[in-house]
Chain A
Amino acid sequence: GESVGLHLPTLSVQEGDNSIINCAYSNSASDYFIWYKQESGKGPQFIIDIRSNMDKRQGQRVTVLLNKTVKHLSLQIAATQPGDSAVYFCAEGKNYGGSQGNLIFGKGTKLSVKP
Chain B
Amino acid sequence: DAGVIQSPRHEVTEMGQEVTLRCKPISGHDYLFWYRQTMMRGLELLIYFNNNVPIDDSGMPEDRFSAKMPNASFSTLKIQPSEPRDSAVYFCASSPTGGRFSEQYFGPGTRLTVT
Interface residue ranges, A against B (CB under 8 Å): 31-32, 34, 41-46, 49, 51, 89, 93, 95, 98-100, 102-108
Contact = CB atoms under 8 A, between A and B. Distances in A.
Contact of A31 (B33, B91, B93, B101): B101
A100 B45 CA distance: 14
Contacts of B100: 51
Given A43-B109, A46-B105, 13 more contacts: A31-B101, A32-B101, A34-B103, A41-B108, A44-B43, A46-B104, A49-B103, A51-B101, A99-B50, A100-B95, A100-B98, A107-B42, A108-B43
**Interface SS, A side:** strand
B48 to A, nearest CB: 5
A98 B93 CA distance: 20
What are the 7 A-B residue pairs with the smallest beta carbon separation, nearest first?
A43-B106, A46-B103, A105-B43, A32-B101, A107-B42, A44-B106, A102-B45
10 contacts: A42-B109, A44-B91, A51-B100, A89-B43, A100-B95, A100-B101, A104-B45, A105-B42, A105-B43, A106-B42
Nearest to B48: A102
A82 to B, nearest CB: 22
A43 B107 contact: yes
Contacts of A45: 106
A100 B31 CA distance: 8
Nearest to B89: A43
Interface string B81-108: 0000000000101010111111111111
